[in-house]
Structure 1
Amino acid sequence: MTRRRDAILREMGLAPLWRLRGVAEEPAVEAPPPALPIEAPPARPPEAVRPPVAASAPVRRALPAVAEAPVLPAVAPPPRVAPAADLANLGWDALEARILGCEGCVLCQRRKQAVPGVGDRQADWLFVGEGPGAEEDERGEPFVGQAGRLLDAMLAAIGLQRGHDVYIANAVKCRPPNNRTPEADELAACFPYLRRQIELIQPRLIVALGRPAAQALLNQEVKISAARGKTFRYGDIPVVVTYHPAYLLRNQPDKAKAWEDLCFARKTMRALRDEA
């Protein structure tokens, strides 16, 4: 028997064992230790299979809701007060109040104030310009800027002075945007005021300063170069045409022509007074 068998028998209580003499004893072979049972790791419960996520556009955070502004009802613009035929009975104060509140054309929308006129309300001389400029719109008086200073010099050259036997007005009483030339409908809308001023002043002579003023007074197309040195009529009142002072500031050589026109106007006034 092998040692292994002996060991087994001994474990079973069957020893001593008898051996034959002369028989070589086999080397004992130790039995390998019994293999230890290897416990399998506990089985993990199957994970829930997630469905694949489809590719999509980046998710944007929702913005907070903004309350919409209330819709206000449309407000109709105030009606314009157009010049009417009832100016005939207005005196100076009522006429100027009407001019200051006039909304008879689009020029009222951007003005700061209307510019009725200034000077002697019983003057023999009436000078009519085109329309107020930026400084006139600020101060409410015609010809107070650089062109106004030139006009004062022109008056002084023929012995006149602002406010003394001189009245100064404009064909339109509100400043045109960017000092542009007044348009025909603007001149027509504002002319009743000038007409009433002439009726109140009753001047002996009117000097039209520039083409728009001449066209408003004469109701016809006028070229200054062709109208110089001539006498026109507004009703029974003579009209002399010359350049606007603002034009002369840009065209210095024509100042000599304006001086000739002023001398012609002074000669005309002398003749009118001699006739009276």
Structure 2
Amino acid sequence: MDPASLLAWHIAMGADEAIDIDPIDRFTTEVQAPVIARQHPQAQKPAPPSGPRPVAAKPVQAVVGAGPEAAGRVAAEASTLEELKAAMEAFDGGLLKRSAKNTVFADGTPGAPIMVIGEAPGADEDREGKPFVGMSGQLLDKILGAAGFSRTENVYITNMVPWRPLGNATPDGATIAMCMPFVKRHIELAKPKVILMVGGVSAKALLGTEEGITRLRGRWKELDIGGQKIAALPVYHPAYLLRQPALKGHAWRDILSVKRKLSLS
């Protein structure tokens, strides 16, 4: 199509003006109203200005969030679990937080002897605002219950990351680094006797290792958090056990090991 015909076609379709380089808010554009004569012309009000109104662009929000240094300062200021929860809800977690529905802080009994630290919320957890409430959470409750533990009496549950990653992606190093100060302060305030590191993400992050969960599982470690020496056990994530049911026997042995550890403490 030659340029003249193409231009004529655009005009016929209503595309008869160029787009400006500045953003325009068309919803608040003033329309020139006709002047209607009244009995007292001197009382007529001037017509509002016509034409589009330029709109200032909003500042771009950071994708990565405030970062680990800011998280460390904010976490250190929290002296109770309630203050820590409020601080995390107010913290700039970047795109990760903005894409989530809820800040999933914790569930269970604060001050319980067992603290479970998982990886990150899934869709069910993000919707309800509590950790481990989906199918993997139900299996976790059964494993704990088989040894006489429950979140209503003697278990406190949280995650390494309080916001659901898009697409349930595995949290990357930058995300873990930003959330780590909150996790460590969470442990300091909860004061557990035993920590269950559920899944490879939490085990590797808290132990500072690159070993996989299959090599770490079932081997007791010791964490030094804020001067506290806490026994910690890496275990399989319930979601992994749902895909590999033959490994549930390992989970049973691990929870019995926790029971023995608490009886000796």
TM-score by length of 2: 0.75
TM-superposed deviation, 1:255: 0.8
Counterpart of 2:75, as a letter, is: L
- Check whether the contact 2:81–2:190 (CA below 8 A) recurs between aligned residues: no
For 1:202 and 1:173, locate their aligned partners in 2 and report how far apart those are by CA, in whole Å. 19
For 2:220 and 2:168, locate their aligned partners in 1 and report how far apart those are by CA, in whole Å. 29
- Check whether the contact 2:103–2:163 (CA below 8 A) recurs between aligned residues: yes
- Check whether the contact 1:88–1:196 (CA below 8 A) recurs between aligned residues: yes
TM-superposed deviation, 1:104: 3.2
Deviations 1:64-108 (A, max 9, x none): 524646524432134644413242241222210111222234411
TM-superposed deviation, 1:135: 0.7
Identity %: 34
Deviations 1:143-175 (A, max 9, x none): 011111101101101100113121000011101
Counterpart of 1:129, as a letter, is: G
Partner of 1:17: none
Matches within 5 A, 1:64-213: 64=14, 65-66=16-17, 68=19, 71=23, 72-78=55-61, 80-81=65-66, 82-90=70-78, 91-213=80-202
Task: Flag the 1:193–1:141 CA change in 2: closer, same or farther, 3 A.
Answer: same
For 1:213 and 1:58, locate their aligned partners in 2 and report how far apart those are by CA, in whole Å. 65
Match of 1:243 among 236, 254, 261: 236
TM-superposed deviation, 1:142: 0.3
Counterpart of 1:257, as a letter, is: H
- Higher mean alpha-carbon deviation, 154-163 vs 225-234, is at 225-234
- Check whether the contact 1:100–1:115 (CA below 8 A) recurs between aligned residues: no
**Aligned residue pairs, count:** 216
Query: Is residue 240 of structure 2 the alignment partner of residue 257 of structure 1?
Result: no
- Segments of 5+ residues of structure 2 without an aligned counterpart are 24-54
What is the RMSD of the two structures over their aligned residues, measured on CA atoms?
2.1
- Segments of 5+ residues of structure 1 without an aligned counterpart are 1-56
Task: Flag the 1:58–1:119 CA change in 2: closer, same or farther, 3 A.
Answer: closer
Counterpart of 1:181, as a letter, is: T
TM-superposed deviation, 1:123: 0.8
| Bigger Rg, structure 1 or 2 | 1
Partner of 1:222: 211
- Larger % of helix: which? 2
TM-superposed deviation, 1:237: 0.3
Counterpart of 1:223, as a letter, is: G
